[in-house]
Homo-oligomer: A and B are copies of this chain.
Amino acid sequence: MAANGPAGNTCNMLQFMKLIGQLKRVPRTGWVYRNVKQPESVSDHMYRMSMMAFTITDRNINRDRCMKLALVHDMAECIVGDIAPADNISKAEKHRREKEAMKHLTGLLQEGMRKEIYDLWSEYEEQSSPEAKLVKELDQLEMILQAHEYEQLEQTPGRLQEFFDSTQGRFHHPEVLQLLKSLNEERAGHIATGSKDSQTTDSQCDRPAGTS
């Protein structure tokens, strides 16, 4: 944070942190439109994405960079909200609004930090690195994992199929594909049984070893 910045900088840091805090109160629009009760926030989503990035083992990938990309990629939504495909706003207009929001947000920071966070957001938007491409896959994977969890929580197996359909062909990284395979298997079990208790499918998994 801005310990030694010019006058007013810490005050700007407070405004930055308050805007970041608004992400807690921006619900993810996809769930709102599908009447999910008490849907997750944008920061909930970015939190788990950053943990997905944390557990990447591919040594050709800069893991720390992935974590930062995950933390930053939806940050503009604290100002512009979570614009969903169903909102009928063009990709170009969505990008324009988010770019403006990111300029405002990062303008509250000191020069070095301003550039770092803005550049991370640009890298993700432009998909200009292997890390940005992988984090985009994590974004989609986190979404369908959440869809599956809502189907389990609401005992409505298969109801959020459209989210799975929207990600067809989007996954390429081997670690993402392996988690996707587990997810699809567990979900198929949930749909097949129409089970009210997701634990019936969990039992397919190995138990953790050496955990106590």
Contacts and interface: CB of A to CB of B under 8 A. Distances in A.
A-B pairs, top 4 by smallest CB distance, nearest first, are A107-B211, A8-B206, A107-B208, A43-B47
What's the interface size class on A, roughly?
35 or more
A161 interface: no
A168 B176 CA distance: 45
A46 B48 contact: no
Interface stretch (A17-25, A90-98, A124-132): A17-25
Interface in A46-81: 46-48, 50-52, 54-58, 64, 67-68, 71
**Most B-side CB within 10 Å, residue of A8, A113, A182, A183:** A182
A119 interface: no
Q: How many copies does the complex hold?
A: 2
Contact of A212 (B14, B17, B104): B104
Nearest to A24: B44
Interface string A81-108: 0000000000000000000100110111
A166 interface: no
Contact of A175 (B3, B18, B20, B208): B3
Contacts of A9: 206
Interface of A: 1-4, 7-18, 20-21, 23-25, 38, 40-41, 43-44, 46-48, 50-52, 54-58, 64, 67-68, 71, 100, 103-104, 106-110, 112-113, 117, 145-146, 149, 174-176, 178-179, 181-183, 186, 202, 204-206, 208-212
A21 to B, nearest CB: 6
30 contacts: A1-B178, A2-B178, A3-B57, A3-B178, A4-B57, A11-B204, A11-B205, A15-B205, A16-B55, A17-B145, A18-B145, A18-B149, A20-B51, A21-B145, A21-B149, A23-B47, A24-B44, A25-B38, A40-B41, A41-B41, A44-B44, A44-B47, A47-B50, A47-B71, A50-B50, A54-B71, A57-B112, A103-B211, A104-B208, A104-B211
